[in-house]
Structures are given as structure tokens and as C-alpha cells.
Amino acid sequence: MMNDLEEVKIICERYLKKLKIKLHEKSFNKCLEFYYTLFFKNNERQKIVLDAKPGHGKTTALYCFVNYIINYTDEPLLLVFKEKQQQKDLKRVLRKLNEENFCNQMYFDWNSSNQYNETEELYESQVLSITHSRLEKLLIFKQYGINLTDEKYESKTLEYKGNERKIIIDEEPSMFIYNDFTVNDLPWLDEEIEKTKFGYKEEKKKYVYDKVTKGNLVNSKEKLSKAKMYFRCIIPFLIASEHLDNTSTKTKCIQRHNNERGKTLFELFFSEVKEKIEAKRIKDMEFIKKFVLLRELYYKDGVGFFTPEQKNNPRGIVVSQKINYDLISNSILIMDGTSSYFEMKYLNFGFELVSIENVTNYKRVSISIRNINTTSAKRSEKKTKKKKTTQEEIVFDVKELKSKHDNIFFLCSKGEIDKYKEVDEALIIPEIHYPTNYKDDLLLLHIFNTRGKNLLNKQTSLYLSSLPIKPPNYYRALAFLLYKNESLNYRMKKKNKKENWFSDKRIEEIYENDLLCELVQIFFRTDLRNLKSVQKIYFFIASQSIGLLTRILKRAEFKNISSNLNEPNIKQKEKMTEIVKVITLFFDTNQDVEKTTLGRISIDGRASNYLANYFNMLIKNNHLSYMNGLLKKNKLCFFIEESNSYKKIKRL
């Protein structure tokens, strides 16, 4: 068995040549060293986060190292990928380097496509790969005492022939779960009750229903209806009681608001739902997460906090819990190329951070912040006769930019895709080649699903129609965990929201760190990840948070950051376009005129000095260069005659 580092490097470099892949050799070898250390240099449990920026060879090095593992060692490995496509990519690489039968024997990728095919092949594979969602499910079930009837699920995933698998996770996994609980939010429970025909066992019905009705229950439909009625009444009552009784920022167990009979009913409720989950009758993970958090809120103090009542947002309860990676004893390596921008999060969760030298050439990147209001409220506004929607303003901006950057790739939020389709379908569905092996996952890209995908790796210009911002309660919930023993102000800022969103500096820092991580990972989906490329790269971000974005992007070594703050807005640009059409028509009609004063050109029958005054305003607002750009496209130009200071238009 060979496990000398230099031998590993030599063998993996041989794989690289066979795969005909060229990349940054120093970074590739550095990644191999970390994988090697995880497996062969330390027998103690490790929790490490590797910060290697995209393009530095960490994924290719992983594929080569996996091939080394299955050919030269008996070491078991669990790989965790964000996307199923990454599992397919690894299998394709292994099949290029090995005979197919050997590859199938040593490696198995387990995902939603084959989740019910739990064969011995799955459990006896030396290298097993799963998705982030499956690891999250395994850890949540273990953390909250949910035991599936299939005992192999946990043990065989984490072990191989009695030995613990080392775990390598590509991209940041789920680190915590949170959920909002409001007085009137019960559809999640209603839907599951209807779907699973939830009802207590016949012998327990007297405890359940005596509280809400008198007399006998004659059939299962009535039982179902009464169960639904009871919990629809009692859960809001307990949450409302907690709001009224608790004046602190942290929650206390809401069980204390219940009477003895009610406590018995809830124990039965929690027990029966848990049984259904364990029997796989309830499979929806969003329901399961909300269920376990409700149970935490019911029985325990200090598991959540109250959100403040502010404009359009009533006071609510948020329960937030860490996913406990210490419940498993396996060594874990997380590969996250943005971890250096949010070290506090990983350190708080007990991980050690290591990094590889970043050799990205940031000088070839230009970032332009487009001064457009893209807040959630603004993007939700409907079109009126007097003003355009945000989507129309952005389409106008993109079309202007396409005159210089014809290959701009457009990214918007998932919920806005249909809105942009209505404005300009060709913009939202660009001519990009989706490989045939993406057929099963052919979903339009949006600002929150580019992570782990390589469809944009040749793009040199990218337009973000809004910032990749998560709901405010996401940042509050994370702050609650990171500052567990401190008092926090959960209020949003009332003024200057463009530059600071939260009143509490600690929550604001979390928001800014997370926003930077999201932006950087989107940028690195493009040609920026190609370390040998010298092409210029252009990123455009529609947002009025110019100061905030400039500040955080400089932290990530981006230097060339500008904004169009001093450019005319969309309405002004449209007005200029209309005026240029009139000026052009004048010269087309009067072919013998080479130049003329502004007073000779009539604008909709207005006074003769209208155009001169309009150009004076453009000069005052520094918008003249934009107007001249429009004129030059029509082979015209504005100038001021030196002899008499007359403002004139001339042919070029």
C-alpha cells in the first residue's frame, strides 16, 4: 500500500495527463496535500474548512485523489456534493481512469434518482457520494432522535466494513435550521394532516377529543376534522400566550401555557408524528424541520427569539438551532472557497480554517454598480402609465450595455423569471449551451442556484438584476446562534437602508459577510475561475447600495469598482432618446444644413429656447456626455462655438 505524499502526487499527476487537464500545478498539489493529511497524517478526528478559490484545482485534485484511494488503499470515503451533476462528473472521471466494472464496484452515487434502490452495492462501496440534502437529513434525524426503520441508513452511510468513512463536503453545507412561528401560520400542519390522514389511535381518542367536543366520534373523517380543529386552536393560543407573557427577547418553553390535559395531547401529537416520520409516511423535510423546531419551542427555554414589530411585519417568534456535526465522530473536510470572508461562522461551529494561496488575477475584473432601486418592495410594484417597473428599467439598462458587451449573461431571482420573460424573453433565456448531461436538471439559472454549476465558466460578462439577499430572519437566526449569550437588537434600520440594513452592528456584519460570500461565488462561476485566461471580465450589479457594495467587494480584492450614480436615470435617458430623434429628423429633412443653433430646432411646438435650456440642464447635471453619445450614433455632435458661445449641433 503506497501512502507517501510524493508518490501520491506523482500518481495523481499521471491521472491529470490521462484526463488532458491543465491547471495551476502549485495549487493542485497543495489541495492534494490537504486530502493526504486528512487520510494519512492524523488519526484524531478533524473538522477542517479548506478555502481554495474556484479554479485552483480543488475539485480536480479531489477526483484524482479519489481514484488513488480506490486503487491503492482500503480507506473508506463519503463525498457530499451540492448537485447531482457533480456526482455524475466524478463517475465520468473515474470511468475514464478505470474499467467500468471496477468503478461501479468501488464507487456509488446515491441521490434522489436512486434513493429507493438501497442495495448492498450502495452500502459496500468503498467510496459513497451523497447530496447536501441527504447529509442534512441524516444529521437532523440523529440530532432530534428520529430513528428510521431502516437501520442501515445511518451506520452504512458513515461506515464501511466497520471503519468510519472520512467525509469531504464540496461547498458549504447546511450549518443551522430556523423557522418562523406566527399566530396564524398553520398551513404547513394542515397540508400534512390532510396528506397523511393524521389521526390518533382509536384507544387514545378520548384523551384527544374530549377537550374540543362532547359526545361520540362516529367515523374517521370526523376524527380527522376534530384533530385538525384542536391543533389549529391550541398552537396559535400557545404562541399568542408566549407573546403576551414573555417580555424578554428570548423565548421560554410554550408548554407552560398549557394545562395538564393539553400537555397529554401534545405528547401524543409529537409521538405520533415522529412515528410517521420514522415509518417514512411523512417525507417532506421542510415539514420535518418545522416539526422538530416546534417541539423544541414547546419543551425548552431559550431556543428562539422574538422579532420586533415593524412596518408591515408583526411581532413573531423565530426558532434557530445549530446542526450538530459533533454527533458523528467522522473526520470532516469542507471545501468552501468563500470561507475566509466569514471565518467567525465556521470557528463558532467548531471548525478549523486553512487556506491555499489565492492567485486569481483580479486586475482583469471591472465591476459596475448600476444605480437602480432593486429592493424587494420596489421589484414587486406593478406597472403604471406614469412609471416603469423595475424589470423594465433593468431590461433597458441591459440592452444599452449590450452595445459594448454583447455576451452579457443575465441573472435574476427565481421569483422574477416570469416577470422578465414578459418584458423580454430573449434576455432571460440566453443562447447558452446546456450540455446533454444536464438534461435532468435543466432549470433556468438564477442568483441562488449557480453554486456548484459550471455552465457559466466561459462567460466574461454577467448582470445581476438584484443582490443575492436572504430573508432578514435568516441573518437574525444566525446571529442568535453566533451570539447566543449576548443581547441583540433585531430591529431593521429605518434610515439609510441602502448602506446598512440592521440596527445591530453584529447582525449587520453577518449580513455583509454572507452577501459577500454569495457575490464572490457567483463571480467565480465565470471565466474568472480560469487562472490562465487574460480576458477582461465585466460584472454589473443593479443596486443603490453603492457604498456598501464598494466596501465589501474591496475586502475580496476586487479593485476596479465603479458606479453609474452620476449618469442620467432611465426616464432621463428615454427623454434624451426622444429629443435625439427630433434633432436627427431635422438634419435628415434639411440635407443642406451642416450645423445649426438649438433655437432653430422645434420640439413639439415648444418655445425656441426650450432646447437650449434643456442642454444647459444637461451640462449642469454632467449628463452631456451621454447625450453626445446618442448624437454620435446618428453622426451628429453638440458643440459650443468659441466666437459667440452659441450652443449648436453639427454633422460629423
pLDDT, tens digit, for every residue of 282-307? 888 998 999 999 999 999 999 999 99
Contacts of 304 (CB under 8 A, 6+ apart): 181, 250, 251, 296, 297, 317, 318, 319, 320, 480
Could you tell me if 410 and 427 are in contact, meaning their C-beta atoms sit under 8 angstroms apart?
yes
pLDDT of residue 375: 87
pLDDT for 209: 44
Task: Answer for the pair 252, 246: CB distance below 8 angstroms, yes or no.
Answer: yes
Instruction: Walk across the sheet containing 636-640 and list its strands.
Output: 595-597, 647-651, 636-640
Q: What is the four-CA torsion angle of 129, 132, 133, 135, rounded to 10 degrees?
A: 70
Paired with 109 in beta bridges are 129
User: What residue spans of 327-486 are helical by DSSP H?
Assistant: 343-348, 376-379, 390-401, 417-428, 472-482
Specify the pairing of strand 127-131 against strand 77-81. parallel
pTM above 0.85, yes or no: yes
Tell me, rounded to whole angstroms, the distance of Cα 486 from its chain centroid. Answer: 28
Q: What b-and-e string marks burial along 528-566, b requiring 16 or more CB atoms within 10 Å of the CB? A: bbbbebeeebbbbbbbbbbebbeebbeebebebbebbee
Q: 306 has which bridge partners? A: 317
Fold (CATH) for 5-175+327-355 = Rossmann fold (3.40.50)
**Residue 549 has which C-alpha cell?**
457594495
Residue 340 identity (one-letter amino acid): S
Please give the Cα distance from 521 to 542 (Å, whole number).
Answer: 17
Determine contact, residues 253/300, Cβ cutoff 8 Å: yes
Q: Report pLDDT for 365.
A: 96
The pLDDT value recorded for residue 122 is 59
**CATH classification of 362-563, choosing from 3.40.50.970, 3.60.20.10, 3.30.450.20, 3.40.50.300?**
3.40.50.300
Same fold, 5-175+327-355 and 362-563: yes
- Cα–Cα distances in Å, from 447 out to 378, 418, 556? 18, 15, 19
Phi, psi of 390 (to 5 degrees): -60, -40
DSSP string, 143-208: HTT---S-THHHHHHHEETTEEPEEEEES----EEEEEE-TT--HHHHHHHHHHT----GGGHHHH
Q: Alpha carbon 641 to chain centroid distance? A: 55
Neighbours of 359 (CB within 10 A): 12
CA distance 490 to 123: 46
Angle between helical axes of 570-589 and 390-401 (0-180°, round to 10): 50
Among 403, 422, 400, smallest CA distance to 569 is for 400
- The answer to whether 428 and 447 have CB atoms below 8 angstroms apart is no
Is 166 in contact with 76 (CB distance < 8 Å)? yes
Q: Which residues contact 222 (CB under 8 A, 6 or more apart)?
A: none
* The predicted structure's pLDDT at residue 149: 67
In this prediction, residue 442 carries a pLDDT of 40
Q: Which residues of the chain have pLDDT under 70?
A: 1-3, 111-123, 149-153, 187, 190-229, 312, 385, 427-443, 495-498, 607
**What does DSSP assign to residue 332?**
E
Strand, coil or helix: 538: strand
The number of beta carbons lying within 10 Å of the beta carbon of residue 135 is 22
| Residues composing the chain | 652
Instruction: Give the residue extent of every domain in the chain.
Output: 5-175+327-355, 177-322, 362-563, 570-651
What is the per-residue pLDDT for 618? 86
